[in-house]
Amino acid sequence: MTRHSIHGCDPVTGEFIEILVENGVIRSITPGRSGEDLWLSPGFIDLQVNGYAGCELNAESITPDLVTALMYKLFAVGVTTFIPTIITASEGRIIAALRAIGDARDRSLLVRHVIPFVHVEGPHLSPADGPRGAHPLNHIRFPDIAEFERWQAISGGLVGMVTLSPHWDSALPYIAHLTSRGCWVAIGHTDAEPSRIHAAAEAGAVLSTHLGNGLAEDLPRHPNLLWAQLADDRLTASFIADGHHLPADTLRAMLRAKGIERSILVSDSVALAGMPPGRYETSVGGTVELTAQGRIGIPGAQTLAGAALSLKSGIATVARLSGFSLRDSIVMATENPGRFAGGRGVLRVGADADLVQFRWDRAGGDIEIVNLLVGGVAP
């Protein structure tokens, strides 16, 4: 039997607690000692990871070793559950990525625990410039139930989330089918009419992927697809809170519109996240420039080419916004995404001991990871 304890201030309750862990499970939560500048929360849950620190899931080819290496790099920034995100590509390339991720899970119980499923962002997105973002036009295609079933047959049902644009004629039956198969459906990279947004939610869509991004540069004042997603309570929205994808006022207004309970923070990080500033050649976007402030863009243009900050940076960003707290940002990075990952992200007796102990610099806004447990083990 393995048995140890970890302590800190719970950001949700504001109380100092001590958690006893036995054999990877939380056995008790009791009042803890105060006075130390340590916080303790469930491990961070990131529903959208394309890569990090040199590991790219959307490269020409990926291996199980790369998937495992990515997992360990994310541990360093407090992420104990992440959803690998495969973007628009040929069916063969999507299947190859699914196989590599599946093989990594088969080889390691730890990887299987940390990666509950895979998110396919595309290929059923809007083909229009702007909403499509960096997704390759030549691989955009209509929603096809037969293709989804091929993904699942080859990967053993590994696809647990799909982001699509509901403007396609085949989108609504596709959404209903995926929902019946236990796959979460998200709306994103779309130019759909507001009526199609609500129809997608009626068919079973439950999420908006990185709301406020993957849109046309100009929208009608009203009605438009942004208001429709903010207003529809059937949709939980994810947000990239890196200070670049959404200006502070926009992020604050959107979080207030959706409410904390229907908001999720994601990193949407790519391989350049966590890397030194400079110019890089990437498999998605070509030549890009990474600034010291964590912005990835096309040199000489205003176009973003990915997200370069980890989820803990997004947590810190929201905690600094007027009207929000560390509690709010932690809930949006643990309990709320945990609802889509099997009920993870809460501190309760009997739960897997996925925990992160950290320090928070209130003035500077930085979060420093002190200790991490995944299934009760320090990886």
Q: Which domain holds residue 370?
A: 1-42+345-379
Mean pLDDT in the chain? 94
Q: How crowded is the C-beta side of 291, counted as CA atoms within 13 Å? A: 14
Q: Does one domain contain both 86 and 201? A: yes
pTM above 0.95? yes
pLDDT attached to residue 328:
98
Same domain (yes/no): 111, 81: yes
Lowest-pLDDT choice from 195-199, 239-243, 277-281: 277-281
Q: What is the pLDDT of residue 172?
A: 98
Q: Exposure string (b/e) for 123-147, b if CB count within 10 Å is 16 or more?
A: bbbbeeeebbbbbeeebbbebeeeb
28 and 60 housed in the same domain: no
The CATH number for 282's domain is: 3.20.20.140
CATH of the domain at 379: 2.30.40.10
Are residue 149 and residue 203 in the same domain, yes or no? yes
Number of domains in the chain: 2
Residues 378 and 362 in one domain: yes
Distance CA 200, CA 187 (A): 8
Residue range 98-137, pLDDT digits in tens? 999 999 999 999 999 999 999 999 999 999 999 998 899 9
283 and 359 assigned to the same domain = no
Q: Residues 262, 353: one domain? A: no
**Are residues 203 and 95 located together in one domain of the fold?**
yes
84 and 38 in a common domain: no
Residues 167 and 300 in one domain: yes
Q: How far apart are CA 84 and CA 98, in angstroms?
A: 9
Number of H helices, E strands in the chain: 11, 20
142 and 254 belong to one structural domain = yes
- Asked whether residue 238 falls in the same domain as residue 349, the answer is no
What is the spatial distance between Cα 133 and Cα 122, in angstroms, rounded to a whole number? 11
